[in-house]
Amino acid sequence: MIPIANPKLGLEEKERVETVIKSGQLADGPEVRNFESEFANFCNVDHGIATANGTTALHAAFEALDIGDEDQVVTTPFSFVASANAIRLSGAEPVFADIDEETYNLDPDAVEDIVHNRDIDAILAVHLYGHPADMRRFEEIASDNDLVLIEDAAQAHGAKFDGRPVGSFGDAACFSFYPTKNMTTGEGGMITTDRDDVAELAASYVNHGRDVSNSYDHVRLGHNFRMTSIAAAIGRAQLEKLPDYVEKRRKNASRLTEGLAETDVALPTERRNSRHAYHQYTVRSTARDRLINHLEDRGIGAGVYYPTPIHEQPAYDVDHSAPVAEQAANEVLSLPVHPQLSESDIEDIVAAIAGFEGEP
C-alpha cells in the first residue's frame, strides 16, 4: 500500500526526546522557548508562540488580536473546519467568501466584495494544500479597510509568497504540527508575529492568562494551550529537516505533474509568485469517487480534502452560496506526495491514473 501520508521520526527526534526526559522538565520550559525562537527565525519574524495544536494557535491569535464578540471574520468555506471553529470559539462570526478555482485559496475579489458590503473586522487567509494565498492583495485590502489579517498556515510550512516565507504576513500567522503536516511534533501549533503586543498577549493566553514576567500573577483569562517540552524537542529536530522534506515534496509533485500531463485529471497549479510546499498534491476529476475506488484497488492511498464545505457542515448550516468551493468539494482528490515516496511509487500512481482513462 502506498499511503497518502507517512510521517517519519528518526534517531535525531529520539535523542532529543530522551534528553528532555532525562532533564525531568516535561511540560513548558527551555526546550519550548528554543523551538519558538528557531521557528520564528525560519519564518523571518520576531516572535513564535508555541501551542498545543493548530486550533489552539488560531484561537489564541484571535484572542491576542482582540477579535471576539460581535466581530466578523471573512474566511474560506473550503478548509478544515478548525479554521472557522477558531473564529466561533473566540466569539466572532465567520463570513464565507468563495475561493479561487485554480489554487483553492480564498478569492481576493470575493473578499473585497464582502468587505465593501458588510462590517468586517478581520481576514483569515488559509494557505490550502501548501499553496500560498494571495497575500499581497490581502495586505492591501486589510490596510485599506483597517482590518486585522491572519494567516492560517497549518498546511504551508516552507511555502513562500513573493520570496517571503508564509507566516511573515499580516498581524499573525498560525501553524499546525499534526503528524501528517510537512513537519510534526505529534500534536502542536505555533503563532508567528512581528507584533510585540500580540506575542505577549498570546503567550499569556496560552498559559492561563499569566503575566509573562511573573508566573504567579494572572492578569487576564486564559487557557492551558501550552506545548510540552517533548513535543518541542521533536519539533526542533523536524524543523532542521523541513527544507529537505519540502524539496522532496516539490520534486515528487513535479514528477507527478509530468507523468499525469496526458491524463484526464486536472492538475494542481503553482502561481508564478508562489512557492508551493505541497502538503497535498490535489487533482480534480468529475469521476472522483470511481477514481478513488480504482486507486484503492491498486494499493494507492488517496484522500478527499474536503468533501463538505464548512458552510454546509451540520455545525454551521448557514444560508450561503460558494459555487466554486462547492464544485471543488465534489471533485478534488489528493494523491501521495510525501517525502518517503520512491520513484517506483510515483510510477505506480501515474500508471494507475493513466489506466483509469476510458473506463465506464
Domain CATH number, residue 64: 3.40.640.10
Asked if residue 251 belongs to a domain, the reply is yes
Boundary (domain end) residue, out of 220, 236, 252: 236
For residue 44, the 8-state DSSP code is T
How many angstroms separate the CA atoms of 354 and 345, rounded?
Answer: 14
209 phi-psi bin (left φ>0, alpha ψ -120 to 50, beta other): left
What's the pLDDT score for residue 218? 86
Domain edge (last residue) among 181, 201, 236? 236
Confirm whether 5 is domain-assigned: no
Q: Please provide the DSSP assignment of 71-106 as one string.
A: -EEEE-SSS-THHHHHHHHTT-EEEE--B-TTT-SB
ω before 316 within 30° of 0 (cis)? no
- Are residues 267 and 350 located together in one domain of the fold? yes
Residues 198 and 66 in one domain: yes
Q: 256 and 161 in one domain? A: no
Residues 75 and 90 both lie in one domain = yes
183 with 256, same domain? no
Q: To the nearest 10°, report the CA torsion of 237, 242, 244, 247.
A: 170
**Full pLDDT tens readout for the chain, 360 residues:** 999 999 999 999 999 999 999 999 899 999 999 999 999 999 999 999 999 999 999 999 999 999 999 999 999 999 999 999 999 999 999 999 999 999 999 999 999 999 999 999 999 999 999 999 999 999 999 999 999 999 999 999 999 999 999 999 999 999 999 999 999 999 999 999 999 999 999 999 999 999 877 778 888 899 999 999 999 999 999 999 999 999 999 999 999 999 999 999 999 999 999 999 999 999 999 999 999 999 999 999 999 999 999 999 999 988 889 999 999 999 999 999 999 999 999 999 999 999 996 444
Verify that 305 and 227 share a domain, yes or no. no
Same domain, yes or no: 109 and 131 = yes
3 within some domain? no
* φ and ψ at residue 62, rounded to 5 degrees: -60, -40
Are 299 and 1 in contact by the 8 Å Cβ rule? The answer is yes
228 and 320 assigned to the same domain: no
CA distance 129 to 279: 5
- 360 found inside a domain: no
Nearest-angstrom CA–CA distance, 336 and 340 = 10
Q: Is residue 222 domain-resident?
A: yes
Quote the pLDDT of residue 219.
Answer: 83
The confidence score (pLDDT) of residue 358 equals 47
Q: Say how far apart CA 142 and CA 224 lie, in whole Å.
A: 31
Grid coordinates belonging to 248 = 522532496
Domain shared by 299 and 209, yes or no = no
Q: What b/e sequence results for 136-150 when a residue is b if at least 16 CB atoms lie within 10 Å of its CB, and e otherwise?
A: ebbeebbeeeebbbb
Q: Grid coordinates standing for 45?
A: 519574524
Shared domain for 182 and 257, answered yes or no, is no
Q: Burial level of 354, CB count in 10 A (0-12/13-18/19+)?
A: middle
Is 34 in contact with 236 (CB distance < 8 Å)? Answer: yes
- Tally of domains in the chain: 2
Residue 202 domain-assigned (yes or no)? yes
Task: Count Cβ atoms within 10 A of the Cβ of residue 253 and give its class: 0-12 exposed, 13-18 middle, 19 or more buried.
Answer: buried
Phi/psi of residue 4, nearest 5 degrees: -70, -30
Residue 137 falls in which region: left (phi positive, over 0), alpha (psi -120 to 50) or beta: alpha
Q: Which domain holds residue 112?
A: 11-236
285 belongs to a structural domain:
yes
pTM of the shown model = 0.96
Q: Is 197 helix (H, G, I), strand (E, B) or coil?
A: helix
Q: Are residues 175 and 250 in the same domain?
A: no
Enter the C-alpha cell of residue 54. 493548530
The residue from 176, 206, 236 where one domain ends is: 236
303/266 same-domain check: yes
What residues contact residue 231 under an 8 Å CB cut-off, 6+ apart?
50, 177, 185, 186, 187, 188
Helix (H) or strand (E) holding 50: strand 47-51
Give the span between the Cα atoms of 55 and 89, in whole angstroms: 10
